Structure 1
Amino acid sequence: MSYFRTAILLAALTALFMGIGFIIGGQGGMIVAFLVAAGMNLFTYWNSDKMVLRMYGAREVDARSAPELHDMVRQLAHNAGLPMPKVYIMENPQPNAFATGRNPKNAAVAVTTGLMNTVSPEELAGVIAHELAHIKNHDTLLMTVTATIAGAISMLANFAMFFGGSRDNQGIGFLGTIALVILGPLAAGLVQMAISRTREYEADRGGAEISGQPLWLASALQKIAGAAHRIPNMTAERNPASAHLFIVNPLSGARIDNLFSTHPNVENRVARLADMAKAMGETGGAPRMSTEAAGPWSGGERRATRGPWG
């Protein structure tokens, strides 16, 4: 059902984009707008992963520079039936993570130093499994496309403000153009956020299946959300269009599950994972975590507790 809903929302976003192009320039405007969006999507298809990783100053690590993290990603990717993605670390105190890449063969998982210093090995495995689920579901490409179309709609709406509508639009007029400028980008943003929330729920489910322990991810989400509320991510604040990539909203505020949030409410996500854990025969309470205190992983100073990811 989530895939069907995503398809409907994406179709609505595309229809809105095509409709704005028609209002601005008639059939010719609709075609030009479509070609512009296609060019933008083609560019982001090949370059979005490099752009976002560079934006956040992510550095690639391997089995030598970050053995525990690299080994965990490799084993979870094997569980998921995925090729080994590239692994990146971002020097950022806010605990968070995201996945990017145009397909599973060209994917990357990036985690912050704040995440590795905050969560236990089991919780980190839950987060990585969530990101691998995004890769497996091709969400990394989907979210790039939706963000690009939403941005193109805003651009077209600005054109409408300066150049007015086409004679083919059957008299939308000045007031209609003003409404278009205001409501078009708003509607596009709402659809984009709805798609993002749908894919987050699906990645929670898929990640829990990959790790085999839904409560690991549930516990990690609670820790990340609590810390992210206190610790700002200044790069994300300067580039809010990238907020939907992260496992938890990296922006200040926006902690409620409403039309304007890019992520589902964490309490709702945890409740769903708890239900999933019960269905899998686990306890519905707090996860059983390692007694080791969380600490830096990036240099290989500590060994991850072995679990189902191994």
Structure 2
Amino acid sequence: MSLKGIFLFLLTNIAVIAVASISLSLLGVGGYVNQYGLDLGNLLVFAAVFGFAGSFVSLLLSKWMALQMTGAEVIDPQHPRNQAEAWLVQTVHRLADKAGIGHPDVAIYPDPAPNAFATGWNRNNALVAVSTGLLENMTQDEIEAVLAHEVAHIANGDMITMALLQGVVNTFVIFFARIVGYFVDRVLFRNEDDAPGIGFYITSFIFEILFGILASMIVMWYSRKREFRADAGGAYLAGRDKMIAALKRLMTIHEPAHLPEQLAAFGINESAGERIMALFASHPPLEKRIEYLMRADERQLKLGLGLS
């Protein structure tokens, strides 16, 4: 990450901490360890505020952060610089109209890997960005299918759903890590003070990492399920043959994806990995996605956009 990227990351986290601290003060939530032991009610509120704060601050800033992290440039829909930019904007807007959402901003970012992503805090204020590698390695029909896949993500509200899911798992990670920390601090470190001891902080930190790894498996499982739905929605919008052709094209290109971690789950392409690492992949294997589309009937394609 560049110096600018690090600065933006730190700024976002400072904002999250500030918002969470103010929220806790307004809710009257103080310490969750007192002379009576662990106050589970206060702890749950504490965990929820910090668990959801990061997710929703990131969601609200997602478009701005995506542009800064990838170096993407938004195309002026009124004054595209060339025919390729004009076609991209027209295609995204046409697909958005068919999906029943507002027109997303359209951007191009420099990356030799063929990829694209969608982000934004709601379905009527979103961003669709494509890499230069995608434009250089795919036909117009294949690019249209990729754009349709990203528009389907927006129409399905996947960014909001992922933020909610991440907030829930963050809450339980913080909650249970501190319960374990309290137990270890009192039993193993024999701390009898009202305030938590060093054992509490060390154990809580370790178990936040361990529980966070397990929680990420749940989030990535949902992300993989969501990709099948976006593929179906993309096939409904652009055509099944185009969507399958785009996925097959991705199988023939071996350039690794370079999307930042925060955006990887919203891209079109990511390697699913091998064995245990497949549990942490945000995308299922391309061959499974192709098989799903080949078996899907018209009703399943419509359900990819929430249509009956």
TM-fit CA distance, 1:271: 1.0
Tell me the amino acid that sits aligned with residue 197 of structure 1.
R
Q: Check whether the contact 1:86–1:108 (CA below 8 A) recurs between aligned residues.
A: yes
**What is the rounded CA distance, in whole Å, between the counterparts of 2:115 and 2:282 in structure 1?**
15
In structure 2, what is the equivalent of residue 29 of structure 1? 43
In structure 2, what is the equivalent of residue 192 of structure 1? 219
TM-fit CA distance, 1:99: 0.6
Identity of aligned residues (%): 29
Match of 1:93, SS state, is coil
User: How many pairs align?
Assistant: 247
CA RMSD of aligned residues (A): 3.5
**What is the rounded CA distance, in whole Å, between the counterparts of 2:262 and 2:56 in structure 1?**
18
Q: Check whether the contact 2:43–2:175 (CA below 8 A) recurs between aligned residues.
A: no
Deviation per CA, 1:139-160, whole angstroms, max 9, x where unpaired?
0222234345556666x48975
Tell me the amino acid that sits aligned with residue 37 of structure 1.
G
**What is the rounded CA distance, in whole Å, between the counterparts of 1:261 and 1:80 in structure 2?**
27
Match of 1:258, SS state, is helix
In structure 2, what is the equivalent of residue 221 of structure 1? 247
**What is the rounded CA distance, in whole Å, between the counterparts of 2:213 and 2:53 in structure 1?**
23
Compared CA separation, residues 29 and 204, structure 1 to 2 (3 A): same
TM-fit CA distance, 1:188: 0.6
In structure 2, what is the equivalent of residue 246 of structure 1? 267
Compared CA separation, residues 105 and 178, structure 1 to 2 (3 A): closer
Q: Which runs of 4+ in 1 moved over 4 A?
A: 21-25, 147-154, 157-160, 167-174, 176-179
Q: Check whether the contact 1:26–1:166 (CA below 8 A) recurs between aligned residues.
A: no
Compared CA separation, residues 177 and 55, structure 1 to 2 (3 A): closer
Structure with higher RCO (Cα < 8 A, 6+ apart): 1
Structure 2: gaps spanning 5 or more residues: 1-31, 190-198, 299-308
In structure 1, what is the equivalent of residue 255 of structure 2? 230
In structure 1, what is the equivalent of residue 278 of structure 2? 258
In structure 1, what is the equivalent of residue 123 of structure 2? 104
1:108-119 correspondence runs (5 A): 108-119=127-138
Match of 1:107, SS state, is strand
Pairing 1:201–2:228 present: yes
Structure 1: gaps spanning 5 or more residues: 1-20, 281-310
In structure 1, what is the equivalent of residue 304 of structure 2? none
Pairing 1:142–2:149 present: no
TM-fit CA distance, 1:117: 0.9
Tell me the amino acid that sits aligned with residue 57 of structure 1.
G
TM-fit CA distance, 1:49: 2.0
Of 24, 29, 45, 2:59 maps to 45
**What is the rounded CA distance, in whole Å, between the counterparts of 1:269 and 1:114 in structure 2?**
21
Compared CA separation, residues 182 and 231, structure 1 to 2 (3 A): closer
When normalised by structure 1's length, the TM-score is: 0.68
**What is the rounded CA distance, in whole Å, between the counterparts of 1:202 and 1:24 in structure 2?**
43
Compared CA separation, residues 109 and 267, structure 1 to 2 (3 A): same
Match of 2:61, SS state, is helix
